[in-house]
Structure 1
Amino acid sequence: MEWLTAPFEVAFVQRALWGGILVSAICALAGTWVVLRGMAFLGDAMSHGLLPGVALAALFGGNLMVGAVASAAVMTAGVTALGRARRLSRDTGIGLLFVGMLSLGVIIVSRSQSFAVDLTGFLFGDVLAVRGQDLAVLGVALCVALLVSALGHRAFLALTFDARKARTLGLRPRLAHAVLLGLLGLAIVASFRIVGTLLVLGLLIAPPAAALPWARGVRGVMVGAALLGAAATFGGLLLSWHLGTAAGATVSALAVSLFFLSHLASGVRHRRTSRAADNAAPAPAPVLEVDRSTSEAMS
């Protein structure tokens, strides 16, 4: 069992594990709504939209997290504003913001001669570099995400399944959508230091999508996603330690693998259930046959 426990006896791997668990919980709260509402493209756009703020912060020696928060706020405001345009589809607006923010970030990066290493960390993350203060920030972010999810659960639920009903119930769907974008931005900002913006969708989408076939409600999806994300973090760090692979990418790849395994198992279960239901189906009652022949004779 030493191969299972030895990596987690090292302090920086322990911090990486706790950081991944906290990120998995945050991503489970936001990612569940992303999966249910089909907002994967929006999540991808918002994750790449952090680049200008992070690039500016690095260029001027500021805090990368503050820069990421600023970019996330700009993306949230932009998506909300463009979503109200009647003649512009939401996907078009998101795509334009995506390209615009990414282009701006690359322009800023091109002005720096020593940003290549930081850019690699931004894109792919560095879970093994998690510090104690990062864990404290993630803990605060998780508390905020829990509070927003609890207060906005009813509005998010109505917005997901029937936006018109949400409006008639006075739940203010536009405000709920903006708050949901803020929750998504919080999850992405909290995650990019761990797995990077290119891999954040692995923890944001794969665990909720994997938990979806087995859960009976939205809260069940969230709990299942958090557990699957934590399992992917543990397994990814373990594999990374023994195989010498990139830790963040291994965690993300394992999360995606769990999604495919979950849906494969769900398909097998569905086929078995269908066969059992077909075998247990009662034979047609003789009375019905008599009634049918009688009705034909009478006609």
Structure 2
Amino acid sequence: MIEFLTEPWSHVFMQRAFLVVLMSGVVCGVIGTHVALRGMAFIGDAVAHAVFPGIAIAFVLKTSLVLGGIVAGLITALAVAVFSQNRRLKEDTVIGVFFAGAFGLGIVIMSTAPGYGGSLESFLFGSVLGIGNADVVTVAIGGAVLLLSTAALHKEFVTVGLDRETARSVGLPIFWLDLAMYAMVTVSIVISIQAVGNILVLALLITPAACARLLTDRIGVMMVIAPVIGAVSGLTGLYLSYAFNLAAGGLIVLTATAVFIACWVFAPRHGLLSRRTSRAHATKAVAVSVQP
């Protein structure tokens, strides 16, 4: 058992992978809590497509994929925030238009680069074992900025998430807060794409937050539980990948999904078993009360 836990750390590439997965799990858990509370799961999937052209351009120019993705995602998020001000169009419609278009642009750009097929596969399914030192530093800096920004804007995000009209009536800048949320989701997804890939990154953003939502009614506690679940799922999936020589990104997501299923069944107050027990007790109490 000790050897299973320590052996992967003897490899430098695994050390980098563990660091990135740990940081990605924590950051996505924190940001994902706000995404889940605001019912913005679609935005996570859409942003994962929006960052593609920036990553493609960075790949062609042989520069940082993380920075390229962040720039593309922020530009697209700004476009969505601006065009969504037209009340004839719903926000999800504008998101669908711009993010699908961005993904299409990314495919066209990527197709011009040598090694197109292999690079596209790495983007779609992740390449956490091939992460370099520069990427680890970029993820660390991006993650730290995100966590500090979330702490600074926490009250405002919660207010907007619970009641947008009340937030608007008290003078909160809804447009700028929405733009900040889009930007933060963008950065969190970009720094996680190398770990689990474009297709699976939504799970790292949403699943830990969904688990936390089942386990507690307090937002502050959710902000602690979600990143813990994200980090533990990432580390566990990476260990399993090393032990059984299977895809790291898929195992990370499957681990998080297994935790969600366990929470859905066994959560103390909102789990399936707890609800059934509560209904059974309520039925028994009613039956006793109506007896002559």
The CA deviation at 1:257 is 2.1
Aligned to 1:139: 140
| SS at structure 2 position matched to 1:62 | coil
How many angstroms apart in 2 are the aligned matches of 1:19 and 1:206?
18
Aligned to 2:34: 33
How many angstroms apart in 2 are the aligned matches of 1:58 and 1:253?
29
Unaligned runs of 5+ in 2: none
Distance 1:172 1:239, change over 3 A: same
Equivalences, count = 287
Aligned to 1:271: 276
Output one character per residue of 1:177-226: Cα deviation in whole Å (capped at 9) or x when no partner. Answer: 11111110110111112222111112101110011111231221121111
| SS at structure 1 position matched to 2:172 | coil
The CA deviation at 1:284 is 4.5
Output one character per residue of 1:92-137: Cα deviation in whole Å (capped at 9) or x when no partner. Answer: 1111112211111111122223222222221111111233333322
Aligned to 1:224: 225
TM-score (norm 1): 0.89
Amino acid at match of 2:162: F
Amino acid at match of 2:221: G
* Residues 1:209 and 2:210 aligned together: yes
| Percent of pairs with identical residues | 32
Amino acid at match of 1:268: L
| SS at structure 1 position matched to 2:62 | coil
Q: Is the 8 A contact 2:229 2:256 kept in 1?
A: yes
How many angstroms apart in 1 are the aligned matches of 2:225 and 2:85?
34
Amino acid at match of 2:149: V
Amino acid at match of 1:75: T
The CA deviation at 1:285 is 9.6
| SS at structure 2 position matched to 1:152 | helix
Aligned to 1:97: 98
The CA deviation at 1:279 is 4.2
* Residues 1:8 and 2:9 aligned together: yes
Amino acid at match of 1:262: C
Instruction: Using the TM superposition, name which of 262-271 and 109-118 deviates more.
Output: 109-118
The CA deviation at 1:60 is 2.3
Aligned to 1:161: 162
How many angstroms apart in 2 are the aligned matches of 1:260 and 1:230?
17
Deviating 4+ runs (over 6 angstroms): none
Output one character per residue of 1:211-243: Cα deviation in whole Å (capped at 9) or x when no partner. Answer: 111123122112111111111112111211222
How many angstroms apart in 2 are the aligned matches of 1:17 and 1:272?
40
| SS at structure 1 position matched to 2:140 | helix
Distance 1:112 1:135, change over 3 A: closer
Unaligned runs of 5+ in 1: 290-299
Aligned to 1:110: 111
* Residues 1:233 and 2:234 aligned together: yes
Amino acid at match of 1:242: A
TM-score (norm 2): 0.91
How many angstroms apart in 1 are the aligned matches of 2:128 and 2:90?
37
Aligned to 2:248: 247
| SS at structure 2 position matched to 1:45 | helix
Amino acid at match of 1:34: V
How many angstroms apart in 2 are the aligned matches of 1:57 and 1:135?
17
